[in-house]
Amino acid sequence: MASDGAFHNLLLLAVLLCLALTSSVGGEASRRFWIENDTFMKDGAPFQIVGGDVHYFRIVPEYWKDRLLRAKALGLNTIQTYVPWNLHEPQPQSWKFNGFADLESYLRLAQKLGMLVMLRVGPYICGEWDLGGFPPWLLTIEPALKLRSSDSTYLSLVGRWWGVLLPKVAPLLYRNGGPVIMVQIENEFGSFGDDKNYLHYLVQLARRYLGDDIVLYTTDGGAMGNLKNGSISQDDVFAAVDFETGSNPWPIFRLQKKYNLPGKSAPLTSEFYTGWLTHWGESMATTDATSTAKALKTILCRNGSAVLYMAHGGTNFGFYSGANTGQDEYDYKPDLTSYDYDAPIKEHGDVHNLKYKALRSVIHECIGTPLHPLPSDIEKANYGLVKLQKVASLFDIIDNISDPLKGVVSEHPLYMEQIGQMFGFLLYISEYQGKLPSSILSIPKVHDRAQVFLSCSTDSVRNPRYAGAIERWSSKTLEIPNLGCPANTSLYILVENMGRINYGPYIFDRKGILSPIQIDGVTLCHWKMYPLTFNSLDNLPKIQLVTQMPDVRASKVSIIHGHSEKKFQESSFYLNEPEFYEGHFHIDSESEIKDTFISFRGWNKGVVFVNNFNIGRFWPARGPQCALYVPGPILRPGDNVIVIFELHGPNPELTVNLVTDPDFTCGPKQ
């Protein structure tokens, strides 16, 4: 009997273990997200998406957790983010998934903090990001690709990219225990074209790696033409909408139903605009907190779903900010370094503002999300004035900062991408005979901004004379003086890539000089091209500007040409000369490291590095952004180094101010 009892106990234990395993498997199997009866369903219950875009690539990784917690405290249950192809494949088949590009860690962190994820995998994302997220090496392929189309070469490259990306996403899908509930196909394609075969291909590719259960979605503007071109309901892909904040959402949600399968049209605006983007030369875009909250309430309190674009904008560090156009490709409008977007969570993380509080209150009222105490704002430091010194002229050190392996000689000017220069600057050099009192330089197609310099070819002086600028958005010709050279005149053209177009019909946006260059109607040949190699966020650790320049000092000079001596005043000779400046500031201890802003009031235009990290472009002469955000994690105890590449002339006092204010109030429009 004792043995029988033991047997029965073992049998009972086995049954209990089996039930436990069955329950566990069943519990895992119950993890499901789908759409039914025009309602989002999660684990068998209706679910309302209250989301917000928070882009991992616009935030230093050390602050990912902080920004996500601030989004959660706002009342959000879902994070939406793009995946920029150019960040993850900067060169063909050179994959990056670490640092800023550590997508998997970001998604796992969101889940750890109790957030779901809507993932916008592109391959095109727009997002005011360079080339809409496409890697610029796509622009070098011949014959030229037709981006966002059924072009077979383009599709093969998309297939290769998603073949790397989507297997990383699959384990993080909601049904597999991860946070990803929805995956977006392309982005606002209905505003661009109507190539359904392209969209069908993307759907098939996504399902190959992610399975048939994943909710795929498109996002298009809430108008009939956009939805007709961009939706693919026949592939069981959910069509979400976006629209202006002041629009009445419910007629648009009713229109949305026409482009979804029956019962599959949960009302969702996947871009509810909390603010708007700003270009250089414009006043800072702002939206009213009260009206924004009121518009959100009309959606959420009627059981609609919304994703705030942006919940937190962040920063376009490095050279990754994009650009837009107006009526044609010459009506070029580059984006600011700041992507604050007037979002409720500010660029630097602050939440003690009217918009955050108003949106948080509406979410609480409509959804019942508990009102937790507001997070404390991150401390900022005023480190004060930093004195800089000129380290070198660009022309003094061109051999040091231009990769000799990338330097090119060609009969005709080449575009940047053609010689492997994906971001930043390219210097073009040629010669001509200056016979007239002055000449007309013509560059019909320059992307985006060219500074022109002259010197006599026999001159030993390295510093050419500034002759003016030719800009993509203005005049394409420039009157240049005759220096009276005994032989040829050397022509130097420094071209700045200010960000590739990210939206509209002109996204195939190669950079550099894209046309013949003429002097008085005669085409110039025999060009040397020197790329400046501080060219992208990913390559910044390799740059050693400080160690390359300490022994170089430019001097005031008199230049003698032929029979006349021309003494250029310092104000005219140096004002528009690209130069490097270096400054240092000390932080006593780890505890004193805090966020700060570098104010560039009194400076003109350029790029700044802090501890070899590219903070971004500054242009206070144009505005409206005067100060660039410096996150605390890039600072360090002890000596901190600022290197500025100024294109036109420094603040006369040779100082920058490290302040606590983001300062969006400079430029001629203010």
Of residues 172, 189, 41, the one with CA closest to residue 111: 172
pLDDT for the residue 406: 67
**27 pLDDT band (50/70/90 cuts)?**
very low
Mean pLDDT for 1-23 is 41
Q: What is the pLDDT of residue 403?
A: 64
Average confidence (pLDDT) over 580-599:
97
Q: How far apart are CA 615 and CA 605, in angstroms?
A: 14
d(CA 207, CA 659): 50
For 367, 396, 537, 542, the CA distances from 400, given in Å and listed in that order, are 59, 9, 20, 13
> If you write DSSP's letter for every residue of 19-52 in order, what string do you get?
HHHHHHHHHHHT--EEEETTEEEETTEEE--EEE
pLDDT band at 258 (very low <50, low <70, confident <90, very high): very high
pLDDT of residue 24: 38
Within 535-634, residue ranges assigned H as helices are: 545-548, 570-574
89, 128, 186, 188: which one is catalytic?
188
Mean pLDDT score, 525-533: 93
Residue 468 zone, left/alpha/beta (φ > 0; ψ -120 to 50; rest): left
Task: Based on the residue annotation, tell me whether 188 is a catalytic residue of this protein.
Answer: yes
Angle between helices 103-112 and 152-169 (to 10 degrees): 40
Model pLDDT for residues 325-371, shown as the tens digit of each residue: 999 999 999 999 999 999 999 999 999 999 999 999 999 999 998 88
Would you tell me how many other CB atoms lie within 10 Å of the CB of residue 27?
A: 10
Residue with tokens 């871009």: 271
Question: Other C-beta atoms within 10 Å of 88: how many?
Answer: 21
Crossing angle of helices 103-112 and 64-73, rounded to 10°: 40
Report the half-sphere exposure of 223 (CA within 13 A, side-chain side): 10
Above 80 in pLDDT, residue 43? yes
pLDDT at position 401 is: 72
Lowest mean pLDDT among 95-109, 407-421, 489-503, 521-535: 521-535
pTM listed for this prediction: 0.90
178-203 burial code (b ≥16 CB/10 A, e <16): bbbbbbbbbbbbbbbeebbebbbebb
| Whole-number Å distance between alpha carbons of 369 and 112 | 19
Angle (CA) 236 242 246, round 5°? 150
Mean pLDDT of 588-599: 98
| Interval 423-443 mean pLDDT | 94
Would you put residue 424 in left (φ > 0), alpha (ψ -120 to 50) or beta?
Answer: left
Select which of 89, 186, 271, 646 is catalytic.
271
Give the list of residues 6+ apart from residue 26 with CB closer than 8 angstroms, or none.
none
Of 156, 225, 218, whose CA–CA distance to 191 is shortest?
Answer: 225
Least confident of 83-97, 165-179, 564-578: 564-578
Distance separating alpha carbons of residues 460 and 531, to the nearest angstrom: 22
For residues 409-445, one letter each, b for 16 or more C-beta atoms within 10 angstroms of the residue's C-beta and e for the rest, the string is: eeeebbbbbbbbbbbbbbbbbbbbebeeeebebbbeb
What is the tens place of the pLDDT at every residue in 97-153?
Answer: 999 999 999 999 999 999 999 999 999 999 999 999 999 999 999 999 999 999 999
CA 324 – CA 342 distance, rounded (Å): 19
Helix pair angle (152-169, 196-210), 10° resolution: 30
- DSSP conformational letter for 668: T
* Amino acid identity at 470: I
Question: Using CA atoms, how far apart are residues 47 and 303, in angstroms rounded to an integer?
Answer: 9
Q: What is the pLDDT of residues 540-560, one digit of tens each?
A: 333 344 333 222 222 222 222
C-beta of residue 322 within 8 angstroms of C-beta of residue 130 = yes
- Calpha distance 361→357 (Å, rounded): 6
Average pLDDT over residues 79-93: 98
What does the CA dihedral 611, 612, 614, 615 come to, rounded to 10 degrees? 10
pLDDT of residue 407: 79
Residues with Cβ within 8 Å of residue 297, at least 6 apart in sequence: 362, 365, 366
Whether the predicted pLDDT of 515 surpasses 60: yes
Task: Please report the pLDDT score of residue 542 as a whole number.
Answer: 39
Report the alpha-carbon distance of residue 423 to residue 434 in Å, rounded: 33
